[in-house]
């Protein structure tokens, strides 16, 4: 009977979290996002949906009042292109977490989840594509991704001090590149798996068998399918573990290998060109899952190929629908 608040519910991860909570039988859910309702990736009529700007304290108080559990997934963010070119906007997201914590203290919230990011990790440890997987201790000494990573690291500390000083049971997960259907795949905010799927589908539909890859394609990442993200998030919030923890796949691939996999799914091979002056982020990043395995006996396990097949199929259907309608879908204009 507890009231659950999902902030950023109109976004990719937030929409999937609300959907999963409903599948589990939760009926007392409040969903909040600053996007207009028609731009939400998933919206459910049996959920209390609010259109509010959570960077404002009064909006956070309106959202939090009466709630027992808060999931903070709200952020002004996107893929590497957006992050590198919009550092101030990314930093301003600090207002959301700060005001939500203040409201949570005011209204006696029991549990509070903050969605952090692998972008908090020290950049000096991510210069080699053959990176040693990042452990939770690698966030310090601090040298995170400029803008977005600093905001996440600062907000982690804010959560910690609200727990220590005011008794709010805060939890923080460092997500590693979440992907899946029902999310952004064009417009500049999409992440690498969705962008690669879109580019390969466009090449297949147009007959122009070419693809542009940002950077030299050797930079490495791990990509976590959305179902693992949602499961790990709820597991952490319910637990007694209070420190920030990696929630990410340990299956590391290069961007070139990511393209290989999607090409196999599409049944096509493309001529590749490399945009070397495009934003590409760090050279290597992978999740060390030793801690989450030790604490929970679990780690994200959905293989990249399996998750990409589902993601590719959804984006393909969306792009076919767009063609029939004569333009991009509403959600991907935002």
List, by residue number, the catalytic residues: 148
Cis-peptide, bond into residue 185, ω within 30° of zero: no
Contact 290, 135 (CB under 8 A): yes
Beta bridge partners of 221: 253
Place of tokens 């293989």: 303
Place of tokens 């969306």: 318
Angle at 182 between CA 272 and CA 271, to 5 degrees: 10
User: What's the rounded Cα separation, in Å, for the pair 130 and 142?
Assistant: 21
Contact 206, 277 (CB under 8 A): no
Residue 17 Cα to chain centre, angstroms: 12
């Amino acid at each position: 009977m507890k009231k659950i608040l999902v902030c950023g519910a109109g976004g990719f991860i937030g929409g999937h979290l609300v959907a999963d909570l409903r599948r589990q039988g939760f009926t007392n859910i409040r969903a909040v996002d600053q996007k207009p309702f028609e731009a939400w990736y998933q919206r459910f009529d049996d959920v209390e949906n609010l259109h509010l700007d959570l960077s404002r304290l009064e909006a956070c108080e309106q959202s939090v009042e009466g709630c027992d559990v808060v999931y903070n997934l709200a952020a002004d963010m996107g893929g590497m292109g957006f992050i590198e070119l919009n550092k101030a906007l990314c930093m301003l997201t600090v207002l959301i977490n700060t005001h939500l914590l203040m409201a949570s203290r005011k209204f006696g919230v029991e549990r509070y989840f903050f969605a952090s990011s692998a972008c908090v990790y020290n950049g000096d440890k991510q210069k080699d594509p053959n990176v040693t997987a990042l452990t939770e201790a690698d966030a310090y000494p601090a040298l995170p991704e400029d803008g977005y990573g600093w905001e996440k690291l600062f907000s982690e500390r804010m959560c910690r001090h609200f727990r220590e000083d005011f008794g709010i049971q805060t939890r923080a997960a460092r997500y590693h590149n979440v992907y899946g259907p029902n999310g952004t795949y064009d417009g500049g905010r999409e992440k690498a798996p969705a962008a690669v799927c879109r580019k390969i589908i466009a090449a297949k539909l147009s007959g122009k068998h070419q693809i542009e890859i940002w950077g030299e394609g050797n930079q490495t990442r791990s990509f976590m399918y959305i179902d693992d993200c949602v499961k790990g998030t709820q597991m952490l919030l319910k637990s007694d573990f209070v420190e920030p923890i990696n929630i990410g796949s340990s299956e590391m691939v290069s961007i070139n290998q990511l393209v290989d996999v999607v090409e196999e799914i599409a049944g096509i091979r493309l001529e590749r060109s490399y945009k070397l002056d495009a934003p590409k982020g760090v050279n290597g990043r992978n999740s060390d899952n030793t801690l989450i395995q030790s604490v929970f006996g679990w780690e994200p396990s959905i293989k990249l190929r399996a998750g990409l097949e589902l993601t590719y199929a959804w984006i393909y259907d969306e792009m076919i629908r767009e063609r029939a309608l004569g333009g991009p879908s509403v959600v991907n204009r935002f």
